[in-house]
Structure 1
Amino acid sequence: MLKQLLLGAAWSLAATAAFAAPPDAALQGKLQAVADKARPGTLGIMVMDPASGQSVMVNGGRSYLLMSSFKAPIAAAVLAQVDAGKLKLEQKVHLTPADIVDGSAVPSVGASLKKGPRDVTIDELLQGAVSESDNTAVDALLHVLGGPAVATRFLEDKGVHGMRIDLSEGDLAHMFEEKGSTAVLASKVDSSTLEAAAGFLQKLDAGRLLSPASTRKLLGLMTAQVIPSRIRAGLPAGFQLADKTGTSGTEDGRRAAFNDIGIITGPNGSKRIVVLFLSDSPASSDEATGWFAEIGKITAASM
């Protein structure tokens, strides 16, 4: 009888352990393996099912420099003011060559100002900032918004804690020039945790940040992003991605940030939020892009 009781207890413990095992343990292991390749840089990874909120995470518990990934939350803050009637998409903003901030994925708002002053609508600035990653456009939006603190307050008010916007693209570039990458990373300016970035995307996708029209607009701008690499490069045919990338320059052979945050939608309508922040890495852009594409492929296979 004692032997049967012991066997039964052992079976019960084994069954309990198996039941308690994370359902995404295999996914966790695959993501960890990619993060290991990124050493000595730190690759933060979070994959979340937005419907259930279940997620797997690697290298959490810290903040990461957002770089241009902050353009999506800034756009959300601007669209919230459009929803509130404080701004209008057709509203014009007067810009001059003095407003140019270097950096864009394609010739965009900043490039057009080299020919002279022009009036640009908020709608054009949103497209330039999010779809074309134009630094001039996002800094103009921040000015119209009332500054970075307004964007951070919007996020906090919506329950997105752990994402902060402190500096414009131009001011951050000056900080890099004056103090260097190590100081910028240590300062935690323009940064986010994995959980905050995923939370922002989850709330955006669920329509909990903006009106239905503004939600569709921002997701459309993210889907139309002109940078086709990173997560998107690993997705099979039939998968879609609404995302925003971010990239810093290099200093002494190390890159402060190489990012991609987005929402993957599969052919069957299932979704996954993916947040990737690579920090302080000696990897080349091609190497980092390969890791991000691999994570996109792994995530799609798990859906």
Structure 2
Amino acid sequence: MLKHLLRGTALSLVASAALAAAPDAALQAALQKVAEQAKPGTLGVLVMDPATGQSVSVNAHRPYLMMSVFKAPIATAVLSQVDAGTLRLDRKVHLVPADIVGGSAVPSTGAALKSGAKDFTVDELLHAAVTQSDNTAVDALLRVLGGTATATRFLESKGVHGMRIDMGEGDLGRMFEAKGSDAVLASHVNSSTPEAAATFLRKLQAGELLSAGSTQKLLALMTAQVIPNRVRAGLPAGYQLADKTGTSGTEDGHRAAFNDIGIITAPDGSKRIVVLFLVHSPASSDQATAWFAEIGKLTAASMSR
């Protein structure tokens, strides 16, 4: 009798665990609907519960141009060297006006250089690159790091496969100017699959990429980033988002990339990872922002069910 009770209890627990971990069919359908609205652009979406590893996704099995999303992985690679003791946050980096790279969300470092050469600490460059999406700062960090290959090797070594960093913001901007958006997208430079971006975020929040102190530091920088819309705009009061956005310019009425990846934390402490990559879209920034906000709202609602 006891044997049958124990077996029944075990089967019940397995069934309950499977039910709890099952993908959210309602969320999947809602995400598909938003992706349909985004056509003729392609909207790649992935929402993951990091506690179970279960995810729902749309158009997720292909690479997307990251744009400034890549600043968070680069910052992670820099902080890994700080953790290893081979780099210090207070190390001074000398920059001159020729190092200015345009196109930043907030040109903090670049603006400071317009009056002449200046020294910045690695810590200041991290803050500018992640929180203010400053292009000059991230290209300086890549030089300190040892180049883009170092960043990609770090990600691969940590099990983040499908995310590649080939060039800095300056070189990418020149590639856009010389070859155009279609050629950039076809080359898959500076690209990530949604699965790779989700893996990066899951490993980051779990403390698998950095020390506890560096993990906390980077997540705080991502939480403080200066673009308050996109996914963040759809979250109810009490929800937090640690994210990194990325945006390209437009060419012939189409935007090559409009992105947001991040970790949503509900008031009860539960989390969801959300990855959004919109490519080759004729939509206005306001329309794309509305789609991203809707996905933020849908994700938050799924967390309360």
Q: What is the aligned-residue identity percentage? A: 76
Q: How does 1:284-299 map to 2 (within 5 A)?
A: 284-299=284-299
What residue in structure 2 maps to residue 26 of structure 1?
Answer: 26
User: Offset of 1:76 from its aligned partner?
Assistant: 0.1
User: Offset of 1:22 from its aligned partner?
Assistant: 5.3
What residue in structure 2 maps to residue 62 of structure 1?
Answer: 62
What residue in structure 2 maps to residue 3 of structure 1?
Answer: none
What residue in structure 2 maps to residue 39 of structure 1?
Answer: 39
User: Matched residue of 2:115: which SS?
Assistant: coil
What residue in structure 1 maps to residue 126 of structure 2?
Answer: 126
What residue in structure 2 maps to residue 242 of structure 1?
Answer: 242
Q: How does 1:70-89 map to 2 (within 5 A)?
A: 70-89=70-89
TM-score, L = length of structure 2: 0.92
- Indicate conservation of the 8 Å contact 2:23/2:55, yes or no: no
Question: Counterparts of 1:68 and 1:99 in 2: how far apart (Å)?
Answer: 18
- Indicate conservation of the 8 Å contact 2:262/2:273, yes or no: yes
What residue in structure 2 maps to residue 115 of structure 1?
Answer: 115
User: Offset of 1:60 from its aligned partner?
Assistant: 1.5
Question: Counterparts of 1:134 and 1:49 in 2: how far apart (Å)?
Answer: 30
User: Offset of 1:189 from its aligned partner?
Assistant: 0.2
Structure 1 segments, 4+ long, off by >6 Å, are none
TM-score, L = length of structure 1: 0.93
What residue in structure 2 maps to residue 51 of structure 1?
Answer: 51
- Indicate conservation of the 8 Å contact 2:72/2:244, yes or no: yes
Alignment-mate amino acid for residue 216 of structure 1? Q
User: Offset of 1:103 from its aligned partner?
Assistant: 2.0
User: Offset of 1:61 from its aligned partner?
Assistant: 1.3
Check if 1:202 corresponds to 2:191: no
What residue in structure 1 maps to residue 14 of structure 2?
Answer: none
Q: How does 1:1-303 map to 2 (within 5 A)?
A: 23-303=23-303
User: Matched residue of 1:159: which SS?
Assistant: coil
Question: Counterparts of 1:107 and 1:256 in 2: how far apart (Å)?
Answer: 21
User: Matched residue of 2:218: which SS?
Assistant: helix
Which segments of 5 or more consecutive residues in structure 2 lack a partner in the other structure?
1-18
Question: Counterparts of 1:23 and 1:49 in 2: how far apart (Å)?
Answer: 9
CA RMSD of aligned residues (A): 1.6
Question: Counterparts of 1:289 and 1:41 in 2: how far apart (Å)?
Answer: 14
User: Matched residue of 2:292: which SS?
Assistant: helix
Q: Deviations over 1:149-168 (max 9, x none)?
A: 00000000000000000010
Question: Counterparts of 1:225 and 1:60 in 2: how far apart (Å)?
Answer: 25
Alignment-mate amino acid for residue 159 of structure 1? G
Q: Deviations over 1:111-154 (max 9, x none)?
A: 10001000000000000000000000000000000110000000
Alignment-mate amino acid for residue 117 of structure 1? A
User: Matched residue of 1:164: which SS?
Assistant: coil
User: Offset of 1:236 from its aligned partner?
Assistant: 0.4
Which segments of 5 or more consecutive residues in structure 1 lack a partner in the other structure?
1-18
Question: Counterparts of 2:107 and 2:175 in 1: how far apart (Å)?
Answer: 25
